[in-house]
């Protein structure tokens, strides 16, 4: 079931939480609503669910306008951040609750409900915990039960509000992998809210980045990270290294730091954004740039070595980060306090006053 949102607005008194949101959520895909606190992502999710009413605009499930329908008529499953399990009910009773609450003429027979509950407990890999109560479960187990309860009524759409936010990092990662596998098996349309960039990029097919009640960018995780279309998306999504300076004669310069800008002919103040993987370190400057640094710290844990750099002879408010392969690090053996240089490979230039970047590549 696809979701189409058309010119949606939401106000709370004088505060406008959502501003002219238009969005297509594809059938059978997992879409993340990503943004900082206060960006409007949870409000949008609750309006899709019917837990809040939009001030104006439309929502369509497939070709059906559900904008004014109550929650019970939307056939959505909702998973809350803090599980919202009934403490006085067992795991099995929690999972069965939605089915047993259906009107009598829609309610399945008890034997069918029991079969459905058993199947869902097998699916979430917790069949042996059917008779336990929520207080006897771990956080990860509670979240799986909450998901099974949401799926019990076979909803057209599954909505999840920061489903892993209350869990520790290891459990969060395991549950993300499990949910992605479950989604790929059953292909239900899912929308989940998160402020965790890694979670959104790892789990979703499509990411909707929101800020101040508006949609900043909608894209696949790969394209979103590689080609942010605004300063906000760049600043919010992953680490970025920035050099501010003045553009003149095809160079950006600040203090004793300078970077060539192939294809850039204009002049004036600007900022060059460089991702940590879009640059490399060397012991000498090259023809592309002279960006001197002093090595501040080295972190060997992870798939690559993370090197933190302090600008040497030019002003920058932040420490730069650059990723180096373990094999390259072993060959070079840089040490804290050494001087080095950064050479760019791919960059994104923002002129003062502009919100859209100009791509820069070096041959």
DSSP 67-90: TT--GGGT-EEEE-TT----TTS-
Q: Is 162 helix (H, G, I), strand (E, B) or coil?
A: coil
With a pLDDT cut of 70, the percent of the chain lying above it is 99
Instruction: List the structure tokens of 104.
Output: 């009598």
Please state which CATH class domain 3-227 belongs to: alpha beta
Pairing of strands 189-194, 157-161: parallel
For residue 66, pLDDT over 70 is answered with: yes
| pLDDT tens-digit series, residues 164-198 | 776 677 777 777 888 888 888 778 899 999 988 88
Superfamily of structural domain 239-361: Nucleic acid-binding proteins (2.40.50.140)
Sketch the domain layout of the chain as residue ranges. Answer: 3-227, 239-361
Cα separation of the two ends of the chain: 46
Average pLDDT (90-102) is 91
d(CA 185, CA 175) in angstroms, rounded, equals 15
Phi, psi of 204 (to 5 degrees): -95, 160
d(CA 116, CA 118) in angstroms, rounded, equals 5
pTM of structure: 0.84
Residue ranges of alpha helices (H) inside 124-167 are 139-151
Tell how many helices (H) and how many strands (E) occur in the chain. 9, 22
List, in order, residues 6 or more apart from 225 with CB less than 8 Å away: 201, 237, 238
Residue 166: what pLDDT? 63
């Amino acid at each position: 079931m696809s979701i189409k949102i058309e010119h949606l607005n939401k106000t709370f008194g004088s505060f406008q939480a959502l501003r002219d949101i238009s969005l297509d959520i594809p059938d059978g895909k997992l879409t993340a609503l990503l943004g900082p606190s206060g960006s409007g992502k949870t409000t949008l999710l609750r309006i899709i669910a019917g837990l809040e009413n939009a001030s104006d605009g439309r929502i369509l499930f497939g070709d059906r306008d559900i904008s004014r329908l109550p929650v019970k008529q939307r056939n959505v499953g909702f998973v809350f951040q803090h599980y919202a399990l009934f403490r006085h009910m067992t795991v099995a009773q929690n999972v069965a609750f939605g089915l047993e609450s259906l009107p009598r003429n829609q309610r399945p027979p008890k034997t069918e409900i029991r079969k459905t509950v058993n199947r869902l407990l097998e699916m979430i890999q917790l069949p042996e915990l059917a008779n336990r109560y929520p207080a006897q479960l771990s956080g990860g187990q509670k979240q799986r039960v909450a998901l099974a309860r949401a799926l019990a009524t076979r909803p057209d759409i599954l909505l999840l509000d920061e489903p892993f936010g209350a869990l520790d990092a290891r459990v969060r990662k395991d549950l993300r992998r499990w949910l992605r596998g479950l989604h790929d098996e059953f292909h239900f349309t899912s929308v989940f809210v998160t402020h965790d960039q890694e979670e959104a990029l790892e789990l979703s097919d499509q990411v909707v980045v929101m800020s101040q009640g508006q949609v900043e960018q909608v894209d696949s995780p790969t394209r979103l990270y590689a080609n942010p279309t605004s300063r906000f998306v760049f600043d919010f999504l992953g680490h970025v290294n920035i050099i501010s300076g003045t553009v003149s004669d095809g160079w950006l310069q600040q203090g004793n730091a300078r970077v060539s800008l192939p294809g850039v002919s204009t002049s004036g103040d600007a900022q060059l954004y460089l991702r940590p993987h879009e640059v490399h370190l060397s012991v000498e400057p090259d023809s592309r740039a002279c960006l001197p640094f002093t090595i501040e710290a080295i972190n060997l844990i992870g798939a690559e070595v993370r090197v933190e750099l302090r600008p040497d002879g030019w002003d920058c408010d932040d420490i730069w980060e650059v990723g180096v392969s373990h094999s390259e690090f072993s060959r070079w053996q840089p040490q804290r306090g050494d001087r080095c240089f950064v050479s760019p490979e791919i960059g994104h230039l923002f002129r003062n006053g502009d919100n859209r970047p100009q791509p820069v590549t070096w041959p």
